[in-house]
Amino acid sequence: MKKVGIIFLVLFFAVPIVIAQESNETNNLDNIEKAYQCLRDQIDDKETSSLSLGEAIFSTLALGKQEKLEDRIEQDKKGECWPKPTCKLKETAQVLLAYDSINKDTDEIESWLISKNDSSTELTWFLQIDIQQHVPATCTLKYKGVDRTINIGEDMKLTGNPGTCFSVTSTGFWLKIQNSCLDETFQISCDQDFITSLLYQKQGSSTIFISPETHSASSSGTTEEEVSAKCFKTGSSCDYEGSLWAAVALEKAGQDASAFAPYLLALAEDNKKLFPATFLFILTDGNDQFSEIVQSQKQEKFWQAPTSKYNKFYDTALALLALQGESSIESDDAKSYLLEIQTPKGCWNNNNIKDTAFLLYAGWPEEITGGVILPGSGPGLESCESAGYSCEARFSCLEAEGTILENYDCPGLKKCCSVTIQELTCAERTGIICASNEECSGTVVSTPSEGSCCLASCQKIREENACVRLGGICASSCNLDNEEVTSDSCTDTSLICCISKTESTTKISSSTWIWIILLSVLIILVVLGIIYRNKLRLFLFKFKGRKRRPPVPGARRPPFPPAYGPPIRRIPQRTSPPVRRPASKTDKELDETLKKLREMSK
């Protein structure tokens, strides 16, 4: 019976939790379907001409192929670009994304965007030559059909005449490339084993970026270096936001956009309001960009870039789009938050069509709700992962020597890759795993099986953080007028934790929670005792009542009357009322207990 009781208690507490989880998942699916239905209703309620170009573009990304939306997009077309009368990079790139998602021909749009790319003159480029054995060497630079000779000392400093395309930097370690030679291809040969690479920086900045590609050759061998510093221009100037969207759209359409990464990376710091880390993570799959995205989430709910050009719904959609396919707690938190702040109709931001469509495309593409596959991918294409391949960032796939498979579908901006890219372990990222009582002092990235990986150093978590997390401070005394003392400990045992009274009313200490839980369990047991009091009475009686008297050894059972002979006359006996058995001490105690339980429940 004890085992039955334990099982009953486990089921009593576990079943509601399981039911709540299933109910929560069902509610989430219902809310997602509600959002899609709200978007459809908002579009149906508008005339085609009343929809904005942005609403039509992002609704196509979310809902797939719809004639009304295509008609609206085509109304703003001017040749191969959008919108008329003056074509813009950002809108044209967004149309490319929308048309690519519904398998519409995009060759002309891609050609128009590519025609707008040009070399960026906002970056300063350097050539670095490193002798592997760190011994003196003589090297030859060949460009424009002319050979130039330079010498490299044991300290790796350069001397000599590198020609019109180069000048030796003030430190003597690098060759600065002149802007007039950015389109040249440079051939380098040395009489010792050597490595060449390109470096760049934004003009006026002290930050140096290293190109991901390096080339090596043995003595008398040759390497080639070519500057890839491209941007998309509006008129004669680079358009940073237009370049972000154009690079991502062309990458999604199957074009190589790696030449635009240096420009976008170097000027990211100056364009924080556009949330460039999201675009750059889509393009490069870089750890730095991933860390910047997850660490910039606001209140564990949403994203909003500093002095954002748009709003938190747009910026949150950008973050969710970048994190598609990634294991990210931040993404899950944002989705939960969004499902909590839907309008009564199911949309977001006062039933804003563009924001709702962008959030659905970024956060819930191809979700299955009520047996219906919600649109969001190219029709008629087999799923990449169901075909045994992997959805990856195009840059990462090519870097891993994989092949992009265009005839398979992936959610969002991922591409179907012929190889599965194994994530680097924490050690391979030159990081460390912090202990449970430690915290990372810098960048944290996610690893496949190890969890959070610290790319800086681990530091002991100060004990007073428990007090600080509750909004308090550790001090020798508290101001009793507006503060009160809590039981939360501080590192210095001579100090006490002080929390303002306004905050303490909303903060509950851990010990308080324990008492709340215990009281809740007691109330539940009391209610159960009242409901099942009759069964409880019988249960206690069986275990604590009188036991049956065992038979006396050797006692004989009276014989049955003979089957023959004179009949036996039975004398009727006078019946008397039954005598009530005196109440036992056990019954009295039970009655008193049940009486107290009933009084407590009133």
Comparing 374 with 366, which gets the higher pLDDT? 366
Q: Are residues 362 and 411 in contact, defined by beta-carbon separation less than 8 angstroms?
A: no
166 CB-near residues (< 8 Å, 6+ apart): 127, 141, 148, 175, 176, 177, 178, 181
Residues 373, 375, 380, 384: is their CA dihedral positive or negative? negative
Strands 444-447, 451-454: pairing is: antiparallel
* pLDDT at 6 > cutoff 60: no
Q: How far apart are CA 271 and CA 273, in angstroms?
A: 5
pLDDT tens digits along 8-65? 444 454 444 444 444 555 678 889 999 999 999 999 999 999 999 999 999 999 999 9
128 CB-near residues (< 8 Å, 6+ apart): 173, 174, 175, 196, 197, 198, 199
Strands 438-440, 458-460: pairing is: antiparallel
Query: Would the pTM of this model clear 0.75, i.e. be above it?
Result: no
The pLDDT > 70 percentage for the chain reads 73
pLDDT class for 164, splitting at 50, 70, 90?
A: very high
Residue with tokens 């990222």: 429
Concatenated DSSP letters of 252-316: HTT---GGGHHHHHHTGGGGGGG-HHHHHHHHH--HHHHHHHHHT-BTTTB---TT-SS-HHHHH
Concatenated DSSP letters of 370-386: TTEEPP-S-TTPEETTT
Question: Residue 568 carries which DSSP code?
Answer: P
List, in sequence order, every beta strand (DSSP E) within 144-245. 146-152, 158-160, 166-168, 175-177, 185-190, 194-202, 209-217, 222-226, 230-234, 237-238
pLDDT class for 220, splitting at 50, 70, 90?
A: very high
Among the residue ranges 189-203, 418-432, 482-496, 546-560, the one predicted with the least confidence is 546-560
Amino acid at 36: Y
Q: How far apart are CA 542 and CA 548, in angstroms?
A: 11
The confidence score (pLDDT) of residue 472 equals 74
Comparing 150 with 521, which gets the higher pLDDT? 150
